Structure 1
């Protein structure tokens, strides 16, 4: 717990950092904002909300993706402004959002060296503070929550389009406001967003009630082949490339499976392994009460949060499964 003196010291430091950021924004015109690999709702929501706000401020803003934009979020305003990386781009400021380290940026990593000031904004406890300005708050529910606070504190433009993107980021990263990362601040921000006038019911329908038939088929197939280990405390599921082909699904269609498995009464740790190639496996881990997902993924160079984390293992999916299980046994 922070002492009163330490809390005051942190608040003073935050004011200094935010004033520095405000000065950088005021003195810059060409601004870049980059996403991370395999972007989720918080990543897309935060880069769009900040990008729209800065553009309405009169800045020239380029929003760059390092991976596909999941179809769940193609309804968001200004989503067509997210473009593929291009060569010879230089920015006065480069905003890196929701990325714990530069390796998560994929092709967007190259812009770090050609930007006047790198601003790293994130809520992952594993963040390496790689920016010239670092605004990292693991107590925030999401990066989108941090963006809302910055927009308010720096008096940046805020309208329904911006608020909609922030709402999507917060909602998806909190499991529809169910996870333990939700605080009174999170609900207060959600209330302010509703007061701005967003149609939350319509947004929620578009995110959560538009599951494609292909995704449903993949969900059924993967869950049916999942297995329980460690006295039913660990659930493991695998998404093979052949599963995607058989169901005509996309990699992003596996979203939600690991959370579904975690919600089984006896399960403390759920693991979803996704076959990328014969020698690359992406791993998503969710935990419920006492196991730290971040610590498990740290063993493989990944990270994230206490209850949700991920990593990439350069092994085939079966070898990756064995490696993950051995590590989990140390924590279960």
Structure 2
């Protein structure tokens, strides 16, 4: 463990995660505790936010505030305690001794408009599992070997005798299941399964979680899938699959950002594909790129070329420029790493 005047760094690698007394002191002394997860939220960001937020509310009461950094996808609205989420207008009056806890965010850009108020917080506690995390907090709890941020939160709660009830267990199970692709990804290990088993002991409704996560695709999602799949291009002996989703395609399908979730995995799961790319237009000459690999290629290395990040087999970035030039550069970089 490394200590500096500006930064207390806790980087956790294959070890039991404990909320050290320094963190408890930070929360105890805070007049307000704000929690936020990343924009374009997924199951892990929402699950860890709701779970940790409810547990901290049980300990600290009304001084705990959960922030809604972005619209919540309909997929996750079955989770309880959504009413805890506050709109960002609440940040207009931040107490001097307030702490911000960020969840599942590799850097501060991921917290969206909350970053505009970042200087008003006395301290930041950064909890994440992305290896590209840039350790921006006063206190950083970053375990890149964890399957998800929800897994880290479970360990924090359990190791420190903080509240875990049915709602919290359901949120954490949702986060772990969604971030491991229903326990299929390489990040899933024996410890992940042990945690999932413990969460099931809280009598959570696993069938309900499976239904909403995997068996309830909207018509809009299906329509944008069809259009994106029509435009897939295969390159380098079918080892790369890539598609571009334009704003016009989204409009015609009446699709939202969350409706394109799963397209990049669909491409990756095609025979012979090693890496899948989805390039989504988010503004004029501005694109969000999602990358997935199947076996050996580290897509986080590709993402870092564009100031992005992520994991070995799942990464992303936002890139500005002409889309055909972006695609060409991507293909050139990937080709150098293919076997």
Are 2:36 and 2:68, in contact at CA under 8 Å, matched by a contact in 1? Answer: yes
- Give the secondary-structure state (helix, strand or coil) at the position aligned to 1:291: coil
Q: Which residue of 2 aligns with 1:38?
A: 40
Change (3 A) 1:197 1:331: same
In structure 2, distance between residues paired with 1:285 and 1:14 = 29
- Give the secondary-structure state (helix, strand or coil) at the position aligned to 1:329: helix
Are 2:44 and 2:174, in contact at CA under 8 Å, matched by a contact in 1? Answer: yes
- 1:153 deviation in Å? 1.0
Deviation digits for residues 294-324 of structure 1 (CA, Å, limit 9, x no counterpart): 0000000000000000000012433322221
- 1:108 deviation in Å? 1.1
- 1:220 deviation in Å? 1.2
- 1:114 deviation in Å? 1.7
User: Is 1:135 matched with 2:141?
Assistant: yes
Q: Which residue of 1 aligns with 2:277?
A: 271
Q: Which residue of 1 aligns with 2:86?
A: 83
1:290 to 290, 296, 301: 296
Moved more, 304-313 or 201-210: 201-210
1:28 to 8, 27, 30: 30
- Give the secondary-structure state (helix, strand or coil) at the position aligned to 2:227: helix
2:104 to 69, 92, 98: 98
- Give the secondary-structure state (helix, strand or coil) at the position aligned to 1:272: strand
Equivalenced residues, count: 323
Q: Which residue of 1 aligns with 2:7?
A: none
Moved more, 137-146 or 199-208: 199-208
Q: Which residue of 1 aligns with 2:235?
A: 229
2:54 to 52, 76, 79: 52
2:315 to 300, 306, 309: 309
Are 2:13 and 2:144, in contact at CA under 8 Å, matched by a contact in 1? Answer: no
1:189 to 190, 195, 199: 195
Q: Which residue of 2 aligns with 1:62?
A: 65
Q: Which has the higher contact order (CA 8 A, sep 6+)?
A: 2
Change (3 A) 1:13 1:50: closer
Are 1:278 and 1:317, in contact at CA under 8 Å, matched by a contact in 2? Answer: no
Are 1:36 and 1:65, in contact at CA under 8 Å, matched by a contact in 2? Answer: no
- 1:69 deviation in Å? 1.4
Q: Which residue of 2 aligns with 1:238?
A: 244
- 1:93 deviation in Å? 1.9
Runs (5+) with no aligned partner, structure 1: 1-8
Deviation digits for residues 251-279 of structure 1 (CA, Å, limit 9, x no counterpart): 21000000011011200000011100121
Change (3 A) 1:198 1:13: closer
